[in-house]
Amino acid sequence: AQSVTQPDIHITVSEGASLELRCNYSYGATPYLFWYVQSPGQGLQLLLKYFSGDTLVQGIKGFEAEFKRSQSSFNLRKPSVHWSDAAEYFCAVGAQDTGKLIFGQGTTLQVKP
Amino acid sequence: EPEVTQTPSHQVTQMGQEVILRCVPISNHLYFYWYRQILGQKVEFLVSFYNNEISEKSEIFDDQFSVERPDGSNFTLKIRSTKLEDSAMYFCASSETSDTQYFGPGTRLTVL
């Protein structure tokens, strides 16, 4: 069955520290992979996506993610976190034909001053 | 930058009532989706819509749900007889091709 797991429900980091949010997926074919961010009261904003090619993808707001097929992972990273990065982050896998997205549980990021 | 819009932002209704949630997708997009997020749970796929018909639907999307594109701009989700468990945030999304979806801000539905 297709699924996405985000093992960390809640993460707290200090401003300026590096960040890694974990995502593991289970999908029968080559997946389309996404990270979305949701700030309080806002919709889901696309941070970055991976379809094929270079396994390290760059996104908006200084985020990047690396696709590792051997580990079925697509972890999100940022070298230096800003207070405005506090939000909920969702990893998702997409069906190539219909586009249906399957989301992980989400990780809430808190940033300490 | 074009964006997906949804109205209303918050809808309160009585159990058994019909509700219609409205979405205006990005204008040149051809694929449309509805998702929902029950408080504290995952975002769940409900339905995808392309070329004026449903292309895929989840188990959640039973006979109480329907979608429609009544004109060239709106995309609606109707729940015929709401239940308490329909209380959730409902997100509309659209995409130009079936790969990258852009989401609206959501409608919070509260069923009393």
pLDDT for A39-97, tens place per residue? 887 889 999 999 988 999 999 999 999 999 999 999 999 999 999 999 999 999 998 77
Residues B88/B43, Cβ–Cβ less than 8 Å? no
Query: A46: which strand partners?
Result: A36
Q: How far is B100 from chain A (nearest CA, A)?
A: 8
Question: Which of B45, B95, B105 is facing A43, going by the closest CB pair?
Answer: B105
What digits encode the pLDDT tens for the residues B1-38? 789 999 999 999 999 999 999 999 999 899 999 999 99
- What's the start-to-end Cα distance of chain A, in Å? 41
First to last CA, chain B: 37
Yes or no, beta carbons of B106 and A49 under 8 Å apart: no
The sign of the dihedral angle between the CA atoms of A113, A5, B110, B13 is positive
B41-44 long-range Cβ contacts below 8 angstroms, 24+ apart: B41/A105, B42/A103, B42/A104, B42/A105, B42/A106, B43/A44, B43/A90, B43/A92, B43/A101, B43/A103, B43/A106, B43/B91, B44/A103
Q: Which residue has the tokens 């945030």?
A: B89
